[in-house]
């Protein structure tokens, strides 16, 4: 798993600094800082570098999975085990692969026939495993089979399995291979019975996805998948506390024109049970109110451009949400961020683009340890699959801007580099690499983003900008936080941007004759933006008697140079004055030269 597709992490190897793995996932969006660094180098200001996400020494371990098609993954936090099944329709697989929380295979659970869906009981004591003709149960403490319940025969299509209300629920599709993924295929929802399965009366076209868990132990969430967007697939919930399912709210997502239909890949419930997240390949990560399935007041930010949602999972401690995707190249396939979408902390991004660790996160391929200490992610490239064990930081710490902001220069001018210096304090462990401060400038033209600034080890930073409008400009500086640190309260500084200065330099002879005339050369220079073309300078001559007359204007060349020629009529001290009246972005300037006229 690398941002550039270079050597990736293989089984058992740890990467001590997560920041090093992430720093290129968030690509440089602005290049202004590079030019500013050269302009302000003499002032000791720091260049703006590429934005990056950082964290405090988490690690990633990767194991190659012995499967050709992903079936299901279950995380057993009580016994620190991860169960993975092969979902291949024709694999003939007869075992569930068992891994510990370090990503090492520690055993397998034998089954009689091909396996597919899995679910863990609410107390974590029993693992339910679906094979072609029955639902098997395994004791998670002893890793031994404890029972089996018959189901209808399903050799190829596989089942979704979920435990809600203390009962086991599963989906059924016709066993003929050609029907498995057909949109018109009828799929039913059933309950495991004492001897034979019990039909619930609920069915739909296309596959179903089921989700349940300890967050809301009596709630079963069911969504329509694989039916095609023209079917306008639904999402609904059931109260599973009784013997009969009681349906709750339902929702279809297409608008009146048929746009926006659900392309369901995964479902997750938040740790407090109040939110339901949906991985929708057509939309991204939808966040819904569990009570009525309406959109939550604040949505998650869109996935990176080109990434299609494939998986979603909340950490059991309620702190994080992981969002998986299928994306190509260096586009991130996995984002880990605070579960609260109102928290503006920068997500940690992973781009899977190597043949040694996968190219995308598979649908339903994310699961957390209950305490949020580890995220388990299954990635795939073709028929090859990998299990990643990712350890995010265990806590978040406060951050704050300290002291007052200062500017260099103290009186900024339009078109000239401006540096805004400040200091950011971060509690807790130091980040693996510099974090960044974001900034925006607000002036009469509106609000404009400014290039991000890296924060040095001592907390100091310099935001660089080139103001392009006269008058008052207010800069707002922000630290959006990361998984390790909470966002800081914004700070602002207001400056008055003035016109850029100009200057005129004259080169004149000390003495000249009336017959030979006077020749003066000069140069007009200006700070900030380039001076406009076609400038004419006002030229006056004052003789020894105090008589002043205006001469022909001096035309300024593209390089700022100009030339003045004059045949003075009187002898003695003669003063030549050259002036520039200024423009919308530059101040006026003037210069004088004194020539003694003889002969």
DSSP notation for 458-473: TSEEEEEE---SSEEE
539 confidence band (pLDDT: 50, 70, 90): very high
pLDDT tens per residue, range 423-436:
999 998 888 778 99
Q: Name the domain boundary from 474, 497, 520.
A: 497
Phi-psi region of 42 (alpha: psi -120 to 50; beta: other; left: phi over 0): alpha
What is the DSSP secondary structure assignment for residue 283, as one 8-state letter? Answer: T
546 and 455, same structural domain? no
Nearest-angstrom CA–CA distance, 564 and 584? 26
Residue 380 belongs to a domain: no
Is 134 within the bounds of a domain? Answer: no
pLDDT at residue 354, as a whole number: 76
Q: How many angstroms separate the CA atoms of 425 and 488, rounded? A: 9
For residue 326, the 8-state DSSP code is E
CA distances from 408 to 297, 411, 448, 512 (A): 42, 8, 20, 46
Q: Examine the domain organization and report whether 416 and 487 are in the same domain.
A: yes
Residue 581 sits in a domain whose CATH number is: 2.60.40.10
Q: Which of 2-16, 107-121, 361-375 has the highest mean pLDDT?
A: 361-375
Q: Are residues 506 and 417 in the same domain?
A: no
Q: Report residue 231: phi and psi, to 5°.
A: -80, -10
If you ran DSSP here, which 8-state letter would residue 537 be given?
Answer: E
Q: Which two tokens stand for residue 382?
A: 């073709």
State whether 472 and 549 are in the same domain.
no
Same domain, yes or no, for 513 and 542? yes
Q: What angle do CA 347, 78, 288 make, to 5 degrees?
A: 40
Tell me the C-alpha distance between 57 and 429, whole Å.
Answer: 9
Which residues face 436 on adjacent strands?
Answer: 454
Phi, psi (deg, nearest 5) at residue 178: -70, -15
Q: How far apart are CA 494 and CA 425, in angstroms?
A: 22
| Torsion region of 57: left, alpha or beta (phi above 0 gives left; psi -120 to 50 gives alpha) | left
Query: What CA–CA distances, in Å, run from 399 to 11, 317, 428, 460?
Result: 36, 22, 9, 13
Asked if the structure places residue 540 within a domain, the reply is: yes
Q: What percent of the chain has pLDDT over 90?
A: 64
Q: What is the per-residue DSSP string for 148-186?
A: EEE----SSS---EEEETTEEEEEE--S-GGGTT-TT-E
- Residue-level pLDDT at 48: 27
Which of these three, 497, 513, 542, is where a domain ends? 497
Residue 425 counted as domain residue: yes
Average pLDDT, the chain: 85
SS3 246: strand
406 and 482 share one domain: yes
Angle at the Cα of 482 from the Cα atoms of 481 and 487, rounded to 5 degrees: 20
Residues 526 and 448 in one domain: no
Long-range contacts of 107-115 (CB under 8 A, 24+ apart): 107/143, 109/83, 109/138, 109/143, 109/145, 110/145, 111/136, 113/155, 114/86, 114/88, 114/89, 114/155, 115/71, 115/85, 115/86
Q: Does some domain include residue 586?
A: yes
Q: Is 503 left (phi over 0), alpha (psi -120 to 50) or beta?
A: beta
- Phi, psi (deg, nearest 5) at residue 99: -125, 155
Report if pTM > 0.85.
Answer: no
Q: Mapping DSSP to helix (H, G, I), strand (E, B) and coil, where does residue 39 land? A: helix
Q: Are residues 511 and 490 located together in one domain of the fold? A: no
Could you tell me the pLDDT band of residue 22, with boundaries at 50, 70 and 90? very low
* Shared-domain flag, residues 479 and 401: yes
Range of the domain at 573: 502-598
Summarize pLDDT for 25-83 with one digit per residue, the tens: 322 222 222 232 333 333 322 222 222 333 323 446 899 999 988 989 999 999 999 99
CA torsion sign for 86, 88, 91, 94 is: positive
Same domain, 424 and 487: yes
- Count of CB atoms within 10 A of residue 382's CB? 9
Give residue-wise pLDDT tens across range 3-18: 333 222 222 222 222 3
pLDDT of residue 37: 31
Are 506 and 555 members of one domain?
yes
Query: Does residue 429 form part of some domain?
Result: yes
Name the domain count of the chain. 2
- Give 568-596 pLDDT, tens digit per residue: 989 999 999 999 999 999 999 999 999 99
Domain termination site, one of 475, 497, 519 = 497
Cα distances (angstroms) measured from residue 152 to each of 157, 158, 181: 12, 11, 18
| 588 domain-assigned | yes
The dihedrals phi and psi of 38, each to the nearest 5 degrees, come to: -65, -40
Residues 409, 471: one domain? yes
Residue 550 lies in a domain: yes
Q: How far apart are CA 571 and CA 493, in angstroms?
A: 58
Taking alpha carbons only, the member of 94, 176, 183, 109 closest to residue 140 is 109
């Amino acid at each position: 798993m690398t941002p550039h597709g270079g050597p990736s992490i293989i089984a058992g190897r740890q990467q001590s600094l997560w920041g090093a793995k992430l720093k290129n996932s968030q690509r440089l969006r602005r290049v202004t800082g590079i030019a500013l660094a050269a302009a302000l180098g003499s002032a000791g200001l720091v260049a703006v570098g590429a934005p990056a996400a950082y964290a405090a020494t988490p690690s990633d371990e990767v194991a190659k999975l012995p499967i050709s098609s992903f079936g299901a993954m279950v995380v057993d936090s009580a016994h620190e085990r991860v169960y993975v099944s092969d979902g291949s329709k024709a694999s003939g697989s007869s075992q569930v692969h068992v891994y510990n929380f370090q990503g090492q295979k520690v055993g397998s659970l034998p089954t009689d026939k091909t396996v597919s869906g899995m679910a863990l009981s609410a107390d974590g004591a029993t693992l339910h495993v679906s094979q072609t003709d029955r639902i098997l149960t395994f004791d998670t403490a002893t890793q031994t089979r404890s029972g089996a319940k018959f189901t209808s025969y399903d050799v190829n299509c596989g089942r979704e399995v979920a435990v809600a209300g203390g009962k086991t629920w599963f989906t059924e599709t016709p066993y003929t291979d050609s029907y498995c993924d057909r949109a018109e295929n009828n799929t039913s929802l059933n309950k495991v019975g004492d001897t034979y399965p019990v039909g619930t009366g609920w069915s739909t076209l296309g596959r179903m996805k089921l989700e349940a868990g300890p967050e809301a132990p009596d709630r079963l969430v069911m969504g329509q998948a694989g039916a095609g967007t023209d079917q306008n697939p639904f999402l609904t919930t059931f109260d599973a506390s009784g013997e009969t399912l009681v349906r709750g709210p339902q929702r279809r997502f297409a608008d009146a024109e048929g746009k926006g239909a659900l392309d369901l890949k995964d479902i997750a419930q938040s740790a407090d049970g109040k939110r339901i997240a949906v991985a929708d390949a057509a939309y991204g990560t939808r966040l819904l109110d569990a009570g009525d399935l309406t959109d939550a007041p604040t949505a998650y930010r869109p996935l990176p451009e080109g990434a299609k949602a494939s998986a979603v999972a909340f950490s059991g401690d309620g702190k994080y949400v992981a969002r998986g995707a299928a994306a190509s190249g260096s586009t991130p396939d996995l984002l880990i961020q605070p579960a609260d979408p109102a928290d503006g902390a920068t997500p940690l991004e992973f781009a899977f683009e190597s043949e040694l660790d996968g190219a995308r996160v598979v649908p339903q391929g994310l699961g957390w340890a209950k305490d949020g200490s580890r995220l388990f992610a299954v990635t795939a490239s073709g028929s090859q699959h990998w299990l990643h064990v990712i350890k995010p930081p265990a806590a978040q710490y406060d951050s704050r801007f300290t002291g007052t902001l200062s500017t260099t220069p103290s009186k900024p001018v339009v078109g000239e580099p401006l540096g805004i210096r400040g200091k950011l304090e971060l509690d807790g462990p130091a980040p693996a690499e510099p974090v960044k401060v974001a900034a925006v400038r607000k002036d009469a033209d509106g609000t404009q983003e400014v290039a991000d600034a890296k924060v040095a080890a001592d907390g100091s930073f310099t935001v660089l900008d080139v103001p392009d409008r006269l008058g008052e400009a207010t800069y707002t500086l922000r630290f959006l936080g990361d998984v390790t640190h909470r966002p800081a309260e914004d700070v602002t500084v207001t400056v008055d941007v003035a016109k850029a200065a100009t200057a005129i330099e004259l080169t004149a002879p000390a003495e000249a004759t009336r017959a030979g005339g006077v020749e003066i050369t000069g140069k007009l220079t200006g700070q900030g933006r380039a001076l406009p073309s076609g400038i004419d300078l006002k030229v006056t001559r004052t003789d020894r008697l105090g008589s002043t007359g205006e001469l022909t204007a001096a035309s300024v060349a593209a390089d700022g140079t100009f030339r003045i020629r004059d045949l003075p009529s009187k002898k003695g001290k003669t003063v030549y004055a050259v002036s520039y009246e200024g423009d919308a972005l530059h101040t006026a300037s003037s210069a004088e030269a004194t020539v003694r006229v003889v002969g």
